[in-house]
Amino acid sequence: MNTIPVPFISINMFFAALPQAYAQMPPGISEFNEGQNLIIQNFHALSGAVLVLGAVFGLVGGLRVYNNWQLGKRNIDQEVIGWFSACLFLSILGGFLKVLYKIP
């Protein structure tokens, strides 16, 4: 009688199932691609909104610093630096998101 050893059968079953395992996508990849496509579609509106927010914060900061200066508060350097850095951050954020999500 000719019998097939058990390790031989298990190795054959493993290699038979291997191509099917590689053919499936890992979970979450399709959701990640869908999210990336949504960000790419909405990026131009988002970058415009960031620039508008930067302009509004710049105007509010400028008016606040001007008001404090007119009231006689001479130590306004920290406030100027804070508002300027907030506007600079919002301006740079658009370019950073463009590079991060590889948007043309």
pLDDT band for position 83 (50/70/90)?
A: confident
Are the C-beta atoms of 87 and 58 separated by less than 8 Å?
yes
For residues 66 and 79, the answer to whether their CB atoms sit within 8 Å is: no
> What tens digit of pLDDT does each residue of 22-43 get?
556 677 788 888 887 887 778 7
What does the H/E/C string look like for the chain?
Answer: CCCCCHHHHHHHHHHHHHHHHHHCCCCCHHHHHHHHHHHHHHHHHHHHHHHHHHHHHHHHHHHHHHHHHHCCCCCCHHHHHHHHHHHHHHHHHHHHHHHHCCCC
* pTM score, whole prediction: 0.51
